């Protein structure tokens, strides 16, 4: 059974344009060690997902920042595409239900937040329960906690590039055409998709058959133009997107993406958000000389130079403090991302002391004890 998920990016609370007000929820996570999986590898909402986006890359938008809504969630119920492609900000919350000392915080002591994009559905989740990808959960709190209280709100999608047309099946002119519209920015919610031949003035409205998937039983002669309408009334037209005449049959898992030159209107977030999202070294940011001061690239001749991470754990400077990665081939940075720094086997073996910020500390911490249950779709949703 397919499951509905959301994509995640770290961001300061005020760095994005809010569309709705905050409301309370709680989150669990999937695709990590609790599922016997490597959180850096595709699973559930990053591999196929109910929205039909197929395999999502960890190195491109939405950067594995995905999570899942319940079919009972009001955002899911109020949108024709079940909130697919929409973005939400999720912030860890302290003090609810007696839980304290849970949230990771910024330099000002404010609980961190993440940005997520809907890519899948969680049938077994309650209305106020969001299931997020494990790496994203780890940006807010230790993954061993299983679940945490949060608040969330819908925000604009600050996509760093133009939208794409991802074609899953295309048998040629007069034949079946199936696709999704990916990387939609701003309000993001696609309301309708129309297609026509570049040599024609007549548009054909495609059918939304499931998730974010659109189909036409009799595709026009290529090149194919697309007209994409947003739920807020914006309409953009992308010309000559698909030039080949058929020959695409990979389905959801083997779609071919075609770039466009269009995007819905986006209110650009603060420059600090670009740094927090890890975008400082991306070519479109460096070639345009954007956010140079924030990204630490002032006076640098190398466009690909990376700033010092503001979220890296500090070290004591002791010569005895070194990074010794555990056996198995994983790096200390991966262990940090996976939330393994506080696990007993890591601390007792003094693995990754510098990366995990244990330099000068004689105390080791034990991971939180959790239990879990298995939902009908195979997700293991942790309960603290």
Q: Give the model's pLDDT for residue 59.
A: 79
Average pLDDT value for residue range 53-81:
87
Fold classified for 164-259 = Immunoglobulin-like (2.60.40)
pLDDT category at 54 given cuts 50, 70, 90 is confident
Relative to beta strand 213-216, strand 177-182 is: antiparallel
Q: Give the model's pLDDT for residue 33.
A: 65
Lowest average pLDDT, out of 55-64, 98-107, 277-286, goes to 277-286
Residue 182 has pLDDT above 50, yes or no: yes
Greater confidence (159 vs 334) lies with 159
Q: Which residue has the tokens 């994009």?
A: 117
Residue 33: CA atoms inside 13 Å, Cβ hemisphere, count? 16
C-beta of residue 281 within 8 angstroms of C-beta of residue 306: yes
Greater confidence (219 vs 14) lies with 219
Greater confidence (57 vs 169) lies with 169
Cβ contacts of residue 46 below 8 Å, gap of 6+?
5, 31, 55, 56, 58, 64, 66, 119, 133
List the structure tokens of 368: 């939180």
Residue 156 has pLDDT above 90, yes or no: yes
Helix (H, G, I), strand (E, B) or coil at 63: coil
* Sequence-ordered strand ranges (E) for 246-316: 256-259
Task: Give 345-359 pLDDT, tens digit per residue.
Answer: 667 678 788 888 777
* Sequence-ordered strand ranges (E) for the chain: 6-7, 9-10, 23-30, 66-69, 87-92, 113-121, 129-133, 148-155, 164-170, 177-182, 190-197, 204-205, 207-210, 213-216, 224-230, 235-242, 256-259, 371-374, 380-383
Average pLDDT of the residues of the chain: 77
Greater confidence (182 vs 311) lies with 182
Q: Give the model's pLDDT for residue 170.
A: 96
Ordered by start, the domain boundaries in the chain are 6-155, 164-259, 313-361
Task: Give 226-248 pLDDT, tens digit per residue.
Answer: 999 999 999 999 999 999 999 99
Residue 110 has pLDDT above 60, yes or no: yes
Average pLDDT value for residue range 91-119:
90
Q: What is 6-155's CATH number? A: 2.40.40.10
Task: Give 308-319 pLDDT, tens digit per residue.
Answer: 333 333 333 344
């Amino acid at each position: 059974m397919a499951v509905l998920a959301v994509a995640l990016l770290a961001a300061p609370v005020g760095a994005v344009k809010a569309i709705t007000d905050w409301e309370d929820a709680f989150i669990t996570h999937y695709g990590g060690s609790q599922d016997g999986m490597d959180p850096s590898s595709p699973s559930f909402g990053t591999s196929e997902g109910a929205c039909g986006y197929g395999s999502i890359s960890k190195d491109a938008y939405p950067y594995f920042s995905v999570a899942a809504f319940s079919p009972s969630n009001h955002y899911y119920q109020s949108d024709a595409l079940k909130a697919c492609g929409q973005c939400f900000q999720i912030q860890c919350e302290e003090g609810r239900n007696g839980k304290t000392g849970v949230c990771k915080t910024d330099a000002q002591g404010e609980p961190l937040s993440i940005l997520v994009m809907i890519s899948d559905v969680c049938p077994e989740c309650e209305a106020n329960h969001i299931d997020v990808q494990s790496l994203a959960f780890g940006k807010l709190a230790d993954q061993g906690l299983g679940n945490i209280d949060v608040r969330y709100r819908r925000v604009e999608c600050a996509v760093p590039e133009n939208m794409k047309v991802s074609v899953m099946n295309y048998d040629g002119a007069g034949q079946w055409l199936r696709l999704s519209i990916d990387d939609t920015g701003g309000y993001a919610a696609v309301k309708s998709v129309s297609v026509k031949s570049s040599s024609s003035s007549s548009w054909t409205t495609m059918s939304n058959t499931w998730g974010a998937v659109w189909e036409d039983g009799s595709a026009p002669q290529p090149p194919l133009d697309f007209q994409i309408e947003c739920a807020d009334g914006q309409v953009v037209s992308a010309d000559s997107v698909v030039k080949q005449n058929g020959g695409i049959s990979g389905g959801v898992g083997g779609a071919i993406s075609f770039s466009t030159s269009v995007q819905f209107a986006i209110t650009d977030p603060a420059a600090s958000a670009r740094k927090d999202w890890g975008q400082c070294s991306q070519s479109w940011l460096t070639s345009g000389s954007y956010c140079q001061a924030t990204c630490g690239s002032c006076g640098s001749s190398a466009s690909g130079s990376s700033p010092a991470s503001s979220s890296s754990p500090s070290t004591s400077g002791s010569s005895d403090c070194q990074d010794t990665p555990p056996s198995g081939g994983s790096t200390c940075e991966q262990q940090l991302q996976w939330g393994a720094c506080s696990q007993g086997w890591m601390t007792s073996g003094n693995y990754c002391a510098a990366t995990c910020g244990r330099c000068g500390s004689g105390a080791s911490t034990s991971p939180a004890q959790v239990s879990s249950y298995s939902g009908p779709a195979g997700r293991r949703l942790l309960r603290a």
